Structure 1
């Protein structure tokens, strides 16, 4: 395939650059680009762009066609609306942003004149502000984890999700061999494929002991469903003794929703980070706990909940004397031996 220098030469000659070549060049650039954190773009992001961009640019054969208002721009806008207009605003905006990144790259290469003009008229969808009610009260989480009406499997998962502040996928992919039970840690892969350790508390450690019993291999969290013996389920996702399958995200989400009348799995992560911030954990502590690599992404967790503010104000009030001395009394105290 032609390299970027060849593509520049083609563009300078006035022949234009095919959209397929331009997208391939952009994706190579994306895969080697470093972000503000200094890390190279994650494979998940590259895969997402690789999947989305051909859909968005379908029917546009040459990027130069986008320089003028007309069929090419209309096709691009229609493709984006058709593919993602029915999805959540965050999804639509993410796909639009992927297209905008590609167009900005095309403009840098001088293959198009004005990247912003190409998307003119295709506005971002309004995204509601995050719901602060996602921070669940500590007492409510404690009641949930200790409520024996729910299976031990689910309660242990909920306890671990809260204690580790991990993403659900990072916990559900754990195998028994990944647990360092003596030190209350668990090896996992974070978002982006980075190897890391989850940190969990004593309560979770005790529950894991009850849940696992003598098990030494296989997934930590299991579904009630048995895996078929036709090899369609990978061996790593099956408990070798019971033949039960690894619990899926969908199953875990459904069980928590039923038990709480509407919580989702991310609520436990959000609550833990907020509670830890309220208790004085530093940004470095929170990043170690959650696996975040950018301080800016922690900001939504550093806003104290009403519960936390109320508790701290009560503690401040409890430390105050019952009666505030007046000016005369304070003066008398200062002159008394």
Structure 2
């Protein structure tokens, strides 16, 4: 008589979870976004919400989390971001991985994990990514570029700040007379950013008398679903429009700037300060970097500075 083999499912099922009464994908995402680690930093919350909402929509919000397998996670990442730049892929992969790890390790819910095949992608450093002041100036003076974009790009360059932090600014964060604003820096710390005359000239026109709400707004009012799923803090009560998102800002700069990336404005700012012999300590204070090693990557002299230094090696009669 042939023996009967019973397959044992050795995955962990905590009481009340799994395929019987466990959380749905939507509930698991909401719980993670409501955790202190995430909701304590508005920038992190906004970034994770965007990534996980798209992932959840692809997987199916109403499905039990325990019914999703690893390959489906890999498939969702591939479908949504396979064509993205390595930095974007790695950032979004990490966000999904953080969510899944939290579900397993903190909540003990049965669910999928990042598949082994879904690997980080190599991010190649590009020593030529700092762009000239004249290119940035020409871009911000073009008549076909809207005021919102000009203001954002000027502020990113003059403040040397992260795009996510600047996009998170509210009007009430601004100190216009002193050309400064409070932002939430990486790690949740509060710091001041400063800007110059060009940004100061544009800001009042962009604000246009508004007293509060997001500084940078979307072009149009959102539809009912988008409005219902948007944090009230990201909605302008006066116009009904919502905060401009990172992805949209990235696309607009790439379109008008011939492939220019948001981070290049910050990198160019720090590089130009370094070329002007501004001290590393001042650059660290301006950019918010915590380590000298990080700043050294940004203040690496550009090609023009190398040419200028090379001239000092020439015979005095032949210089220039």
TM-score norm. by structure 1 comes to: 0.59
| 2:291 pairs with 1:301 | no
Matches within 5 A, 1:20-99: none
Q: Which has the higher contact order (CA 8 A, sep 6+)?
A: 2
Q: Is the 8 A contact 1:274 1:303 kept in 2?
A: yes
SS at match of 2:181: strand
2:196 and 2:90 map into 1 onto residues whose CA distance is 38
Q: Which runs of 5+ in 2 are unaligned?
A: 1-11, 15-42, 53-64, 102-115
Q: How many angstroms does 1:279 deviate by?
A: 1.1
Give the aligned partner of residue 237 of structure 1. Answer: 235
Deviation digits for residues 20-50 of structure 1 (CA, Å, limit 9, x no counterpart): 9xxxxxxxxxxxxxxxxxxxxxx969x99xx
- Tell me the matched-pair count: 268
Deviation digits for residues 77-100 of structure 1 (CA, Å, limit 9, x no counterpart): x899778789676656986xx99x
| 2:157 pairs with 1:159 | no
2:144 and 2:215 map into 1 onto residues whose CA distance is 21
Deviation digits for residues 60-110 of structure 1 (CA, Å, limit 9, x no counterpart): xxxxxxxxxxxxxxx99x899778789676656986xx99xx9xxxxxxxx
Give the aligned partner of residue 118 of structure 1. Answer: none
The counterpart of 1:285, out of the listed 282, 286, 293, is 282
Q: How many angstroms does 1:225 deviate by?
A: 0.8
SS at match of 2:218: strand
Give the aligned partner of residue 28 of structure 2. Answer: none
Deviation digits for residues 100-146 of structure 1 (CA, Å, limit 9, x no counterpart): xx9xxxxxxxxxxxxxxxxxx99976625311232111110111111
Q: How many angstroms does 1:302 deviate by?
A: 2.2
Give the aligned partner of residue 268 of structure 1. Answer: 265
Q: Which runs of 5+ in 1 are unaligned?
A: 1-17, 21-42, 52-57, 60-74, 103-120, 325-337
| 2:254 pairs with 1:252 | no
Deviation digits for residues 144-188 of structure 1 (CA, Å, limit 9, x no counterpart): 111122011110110001111111111111111111111110111
SS at match of 2:183: strand
**Segment of structure 1 superposing worse, 273-282 or 154-163:** 273-282
Cα separation, partners in 2 of 1:244 and 1:313, compared to 1, 3 Å? farther
The counterpart of 2:195, out of the listed 186, 197, 200, is 200
1:128 and 1:141 map into 2 onto residues whose CA distance is 25
Cα separation, partners in 2 of 1:307 and 1:235, compared to 1, 3 Å? same
TM-score norm. by structure 2 comes to: 0.62
Q: Is the 8 A contact 1:187 1:196 kept in 2?
A: yes
Cα separation, partners in 2 of 1:239 and 1:156, compared to 1, 3 Å? farther
Q: Is the 8 A contact 1:239 1:245 kept in 2?
A: no
Q: Is the 8 A contact 2:90 2:121 kept in 1?
A: no
Give the aligned partner of residue 150 of structure 1. Answer: 145
1:83 and 1:197 map into 2 onto residues whose CA distance is 38
2:240 and 2:306 map into 1 onto residues whose CA distance is 48
Aligned CA-pair RMSD: 5.2
The counterpart of 2:179, out of the listed 179, 184, 191, is 184
Cα separation, partners in 2 of 1:215 and 1:238, compared to 1, 3 Å? closer
> Runs ≥4 in structure 1, deviation > 6 angstroms?
78-86, 121-124
Q: Is the 8 A contact 1:163 1:200 kept in 2?
A: yes
